[in-house]
Chains A and B, each alone.
Chain A
Amino acid sequence: MFDATELNQKNERVEKLFRAGFGLMTVMLIIPVLIILTTLVVKGGSVVNFDFLFQSPTNGMTAGGIFPALLGTVWLVLVALLISVPLGVAAAVYLSEYAPENWFTRVINLAIINLAGVPSIVHALFGVGAFVLFFGFGTSILAASLTLAIMTLPLIIVATRESLQAVPYAFREACWNMGATRWQTIRRVVLPNAISGILTGVILEVSRTSGETAPIMFTGAAFFLPLLPQSVFDQTMALSLHLFVVSTQVPDMPEAVPYGVALVLICLVLLMNSLSIALRVYLRGRKKW
């Protein structure tokens, strides 16, 4: 009575097949990541040490460390975050909580999605035109960070809007029906419950900004600077550009250095990401409905 029929067995086989298939795909996704990481560690691990991280490059960048570039990337990412997170979150809140459902809102939404697809070199040119020249910031951290911020705004907006919309509508209604204004509702109920999704956007942005080369090349990053930047109006070195330089532009570069720079860049991104992941896990632990 409970024996497997032929159909049961067939379904079981198909089930196994798909399970194995999907598993295999996943493994194949991980393999390149593993190869990259191992290569970097094997080839570049030997040069990464305290001095490498905290010394300036010497000898035409073939020796010494990468501190100015490391610091520069941190600067660029932080300033970009400072600009794009408030702007992006505000825009997403408006779109999700206030904007009426009409063609204009839909056009804006479409524009944001398209903005995400604009190649970074185009953003770079825009940055030169707008921030370096028009606003007169010159090639500076500020101009570069603004360019990065504009480039990554769609990431923040989309992530924030999605997490706002994941907050059940019933919560908003409950608030409104008690006489809360839209802002009171957003401030006390919607945002606190969307925060972990917003942080996902921030994580994406950190990864994207710290790796980009094109948008900063013409707007604020320099090949080599003898001095550290003193303010956001100075130029800076940056890891991504430095990596490009040491890999392609400098003769007689020891082979390990580019790998070392790449390794540091990846670790920096991972570090910044794990901070926001930790924060997200912490916040998610407090949210249950």
Chain B
Amino acid sequence: MDSGSGMAISTTDLNLWYGTFQALFDVNLEVKPGIITAMIGPSGCGKSTFLRSVNRINERLGYVRITGEINVYDRNIYGEDVELVQVRKQVGMVFQRPNPLPISIRDNVLFGYQIHGQGKTASKSDQDDVVEDALRQVLLWDQVKDRLNAKATGLSLEQQQKLCIARLLPVKPRVLLMDEPCSALDPKGTEAVEELLWELRGKYSILIVTHNMAQARRASDECIFMLLGKVVEHTETETMFVTPKFEETENYIEGRYG
């Protein structure tokens, strides 16, 4: 599977239309494996659209049309022999609003694990290990270990968001997509999630959308700047923030638009 470019996500000439409205224009991107890549850009420039096409949620809308290719670890995920369920398994997604399921913390973590068939054969103690491992990875274990059977919806927003990340991990995804994962959180929660991102770095390839320049700068290795459905610039984060190549990038970073 890993012959070829070895990129976590690579797209060629990706165009996307919502009905007749074109939201992405000839996007060519290479997101490197194992690092954190941030995606920034003004509201409506197509960041979420891009993310949502990488785990194929967009097509649920029915009126979305795509041309070009999206490869995840060198497999075209829109290929005919590709099983959608496997795409969703390998490419996990975290949303702006934490959306834990209204079941216990434990069951939330095991949900993906069970629907992908691993839970049935696993013994109770294996399941316990899976839960503990996932919750430890997201730095949540110590806070919830005594109430694993409590409703997940009773947790604080920060904890809920961490849980939403944790429940992706038991199925061992290769890529994690995060769409403004901190925008519903307070500064402390944001900091905690950023800390967590660094924990996960290396084990997963992470692509995170953020409106928070400081966060993009603090919490990513590389940065992508998008504008009106096009990729303007994609470089190392430090480079982008210190010496941006394009004027648009500079204007945006310095808060001169939306």
A residues contacting B by CB (< 8 A) are 170-171, 173-181, 184, 188-189, 192-193, 287-289
Contacts and interface: CB of A to CB of B under 8 A. Distances in A.
Contacts, number: 62
A288 B103 CA distance: 9
B154 to A, nearest CB: 7
Nearest to A177: B93
Interface of B: 55, 57, 60, 84-89, 92-93, 97, 99-103, 111-112, 115-116, 151, 153-154, 164, 167-168, 171
Contact of A171 (B87, B99, B151): B99
A177 B88 contact: yes
Given A178-B115, A180-B115, A288-B151, A170 B88 contact: no
9 contacts: A174-B101, A175-B101, A175-B111, A178-B167, A179-B86, A179-B87, A179-B115, A189-B102, A193-B102
Closest CB pairs A-B (n = 5)? A179-B88, A174-B99, A178-B112, A179-B85, A289-B102
A183 to B, nearest CB: 10
Given A173-B57, A288-B153, 16 more contacts: A171-B99, A175-B101, A176-B60, A178-B112, A178-B115, A178-B168, A179-B85, A179-B86, A179-B89, A181-B85, A181-B115, A184-B115, A189-B102, A192-B103, A287-B102, A288-B151
A178 B168 CA distance: 7
B9 to A, nearest CB: 17
Nearest to A180: B115
A237 B101 CA distance: 48
Contacts of A174: 99-101, 164
Nearest to A167: B102
A170 B97 contact: yes
Of residues A170, A177, A181, A189, which shows the largest number of chain B Cβ atoms within 10 Å of its Cβ?
A: A177
